[in-house]
């Protein structure tokens, strides 16, 4: 009677596929996930190793991380251009000494016009 083992053989797993998935899950290693995922996919074509799904998930999540970082950076540039330094002051609540606090400062009053009397009209 033969006994078959249901244990997974981790020696057949491609190391770069695992690196790609782990880098993509950290969200800071998106470029490393994309690069190691592509290299792992090339290695998996020729070798009989397993881990294709890990490499694919790592590549996809890596690209999603890169695209989202670019979109967040563009949003930050847009908000900085649109609202300028006042947006930063509003965000910090006006407690920065470099930011004017518009809640308590009254605008400078307009000067009153000079009133001309009847004697000033002919001059």
Mean pLDDT, consecutive 10-residue stretches, the chain (123 aa), reads 64 86 87 94 89 92 94 89 61 57 58 67 58
Which pLDDT does position 79 carry in this prediction?
83
In a domain, 76, yes or no: yes
The model's pTM? 0.61
Rounded CA-CA distance 113/105 in Å is: 24
Q: Does some domain include residue 110?
A: no
In a domain, 107, yes or no: no
Residue 65 domain boundaries? 11-91
Residue 67 covered by a domain: yes
Q: Does some domain include residue 82?
A: yes
Joined tokens for residue 91? 């965000």
**Looking at the domain assignment, is residue 36 inside a domain?**
yes
* Sign of the CA dihedral with 91 first, then 97, 98, and 103 last: positive
Q: How far apart are CA 45 and CA 47, in angstroms?
A: 6
- Determine, yes or no, domain membership for 80: yes
Domain tally for the chain? 1
Q: Give the whole-angstrom CA distance, residue 105 versus residue 111.
A: 18
Q: Please check whether residue 106 lies inside any domain of the structure.
A: no
């Amino acid at each position: 009677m033969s006994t078959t083992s249901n244990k997974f053989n981790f020696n057949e797993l491609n190391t770069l596929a695992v690196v790609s998935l782990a880098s993509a899950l950290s969200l800071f290693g998106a470029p490393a996930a994309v690069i190691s995922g592509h290299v792992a996919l090339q290695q998996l074509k020729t070798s009989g190793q397993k881990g294709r799904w890990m490499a694919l998930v790592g590549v996809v999540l890596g690209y999603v991380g890169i695209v989202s970082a670019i979109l967040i950076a563009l949003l930050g540039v847009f908000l900085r251009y649109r609202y300028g330094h006042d947006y930063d002051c509003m965000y910090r609540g006006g407690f920065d000494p470099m930011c004017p606090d518009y809640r308590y400062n009254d605008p400078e009053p307009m000067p009153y016009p000079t009133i001309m009397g009847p004697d000033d009209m002919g001059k």
